[in-house]
Structure 1
Amino acid sequence: MSTSFLEIVELPDGRIALRRAEDEEALVVLDFSSDAKAFLQGQHVEVAKAMLNVGVQMAGRLAEGDFQHEQEARVLH
């Protein structure tokens, strides 16, 4: 990924996207269900920002080789 600026935007359909500032194409899109939005009491944008922030940090660590890859199978939940 280039070193251009990234931005987090709310799309017209309510999804949250991470994209390059100079590009309309989304790199990552988060789509919260109506149940999730209700549970988060309107704070889904803040949760999306936190999720994307951690994801970008992790991608940076992977790119720098600072991440230990686990050899065992992982349960994702």
Structure 2
Amino acid sequence: MLSYLELVELANGDIVLQRSEGDENPLVTIKFSKETREHIAGSALDVARAMVQAGIEAAAMPVEEDSFDDDIDDDDLEPDAKIVH
């Protein structure tokens, strides 16, 4: 069976990427700050769509080890987090 994905804006302003069958566990959750939501008013779904598309394209590209920034203070990151530029 073919599964489709959809972007849905929730009542709290979060945007989730989920299976169209309504799976309770979203694949991705995008949370914009209040300031950002005000700045992109009316375009949140368009911005989220571009972010998801960029993520899919980036995931399809091979990763080079030297693309990770080793100068970041690891104490400020979540466990296993990496910053890519």
Task: Using structure 1 for the length normalisation, give the TM-score.
Answer: 0.71
* Secondary structure, counterpart of 1:8 in structure 2: strand
1:7-38 deviation line (CA, Å, top 9, x unaligned): 11111211000011112320100000110112
Q: Which residue of 1 aligns with 2:68?
A: 74
Q: Superposition pairs for residues 1-77 of structure 1, below 5 Å? A: 4-22=3-21, 23-59=23-59, 61=60, 67-75=61-69, 76=84
**CA-atom RMSD in angstroms:** 2.0
Greater alpha carbon shift after TM alignment, 5-14 vs 41-50: 41-50
* Secondary structure, counterpart of 1:72 in structure 2: helix
Task: Using structure 2 for the length normalisation, give the TM-score.
Answer: 0.65
Higher strand share: 1
Q: How many residues align?
A: 69
Match for 2:52: what amino acid?
A: L
Match for 1:7: what amino acid?
A: E
Greater alpha carbon shift after TM alignment, 10-19 vs 67-76: 67-76
1:45 deviates by 1.9
Match for 2:53: what amino acid?
A: N
Match for 1:56: what amino acid?
A: I
